[in-house]
Structure 1
């Protein structure tokens, strides 16, 4: 499938999706959200891909927010539908992918950009990155999961402060808050992301997919995360990856996981 707003590269079990709208600081418009949905879905169904990196083109921005011109004239119902569809197509979709997603934040990650990074399973930022949710300066609130995922990651008090002040934070602060996993120099960002992706790719894909389900369950209302963990733990025992992993351990050899 050909794309206008993103680039997709697959190499060594790792797919790299690059949002490629540099003149718009990689802002998310409807077309880009739909293209990202299709790209993530394609990677998810490609058995050769064991990890996905999402980043932005250039050195200025990961994603500098949403394309405000698309929704400035929306009414109440149109605004609600915008958030619902966006969460369904991209943000919730990414969070619930069975293939782990690493956000390589290469500059500004604002509004929808930070929300996309937070929906990813792991976050790495370059030392020049700036992050924030500035929606209240426009008379609206974060609508792509920001009010839910930010408190989960950094705590309610800090999340309230960042959302209500619309303050941007730098990469060292994001690291100290636990918003990102690692901070590296800009030229090292994709190398670090690939290093992590390849470490993940060596492990059992089925087990990783079940771990994602179990971790996510802890943040869902009315769901017993411990129960999901028990269920998914048991599920793994019926997989070929489990048989291969335990056999390889007992035979003192490297496991060759097939993802089934």
Structure 2
């Protein structure tokens, strides 16, 4: 299976999907998301695959989200896509594939990249990894899994802090709040992830699938919220308010937002 933006490999009863755009902090485009969805679909139907590892190339970033600065005319930024967008479809397939998905976070997981790791079943993080949101600073938001489901994991107060203050959190801080499952030195990240997966792929696949669906049941309604929020987000991007926030972020200044309160 040939891809341009990702690497896909299978070994020892697992599939490994690697976002392979390290020169761009592994930011994803329309094309990247499409390839990731195809890879997950392949893993879904492959009886040799018992779990999926999701990671990224290089050591700087897992992914920092969509690419509003992308110069490739054919690689449209995720923000321009109609809903349900490819990004929403990717989140949905990670949630619904009847096999555990383990994120191996090797650097910055910011914005949409943070949301991706949030919806994975488990997260192993390098000690150098950083997590956070930037949406309100750049004229964007994720009112679905990135907020509603995040609050199920870390609690509402902490989830609101993520979005209202747009701070960055260390891997150790995220371990303490239950957002990641383990923190290891960067050079041990993949070895530790494989150890976890070694245990998972020896378990009953039917049991794992049933358990995953059971865990998902309580927050299944978030998919509807994600879809509705996506429509609102699409309209919001065309407002003067969103455009001012985006320009201000690019120009490294405070936005002129008083008129929008």
What is the TM-score with the length of structure 1 in the denominator? 0.79
Offset of residue 119 of structure 1: 1.3
> Which region of structure 1 is more displaced relative to structure 2, 193-202 or 213-222?
213-222
Q: Which residue of 1 aligns with 2:40?
A: 40
Residues 91-140 of structure 1 show CA distances to partners (whole Å, capped at 9, x for unaligned) of 11111110110000000000111111111100110000000011111012
Q: Which residue of 2 aligns with 1:85?
A: 85
Offset of residue 145 of structure 1: 2.4
Offset of residue 69 of structure 1: 3.2
Q: Which residue of 2 aligns with 1:204?
A: 204
Offset of residue 83 of structure 1: 5.1
1:123 aligns with 2:116: no
Q: Which residue of 2 aligns with 1:16?
A: 16
- From the superposition, tell whether residues 220 and 89 of structure 1 become closer, same or farther in structure 2 (CA, over 3 Å): closer
Pairs aligned (count) = 216
Q: Which residue of 1 aligns with 2:257?
A: none
Structure 1: gaps (5+ residues): 71-77, 223-260
Q: Which is higher, the Rg of structure 1 or of structure 2?
A: 1
Residue 190 of structure 2 aligns to a residue in which SS? Answer: helix
Q: Which residue of 1 aligns with 2:146?
A: 146
What is the TM-score with the length of structure 2 in the denominator? 0.79
Structure-to-structure mapping, 1:103-182, within 5 angstroms: 103-142=103-142, 145-182=145-182
Offset of residue 28 of structure 1: 1.3
Residue 179 of structure 1 aligns to a residue in which SS? Answer: coil
Q: Which residue of 1 aligns with 2:238?
A: none
CA RMSD of aligned residues (A): 1.9
The CA distance in 1 between the partners of 2:68 and 2:23, in whole Å, is 15
Q: Which residue of 2 aligns with 1:25?
A: 25
Contact residue 98 and residue 208 of structure 2 kept, 8 A: yes
Contact residue 20 and residue 26 of structure 2 kept, 8 A: yes
Of structures 1 and 2, the one with the larger relative CO (CA 8 A, separation 6+) is 2
Contact residue 65 and residue 113 of structure 1 kept, 8 A: yes
Contact residue 114 and residue 133 of structure 2 kept, 8 A: yes
Structure 2: gaps (5+ residues): 71-77, 223-261
Q: Which residue of 2 aligns with 1:75?
A: none
Residue 69 of structure 2 aligns to a residue in which SS? Answer: helix
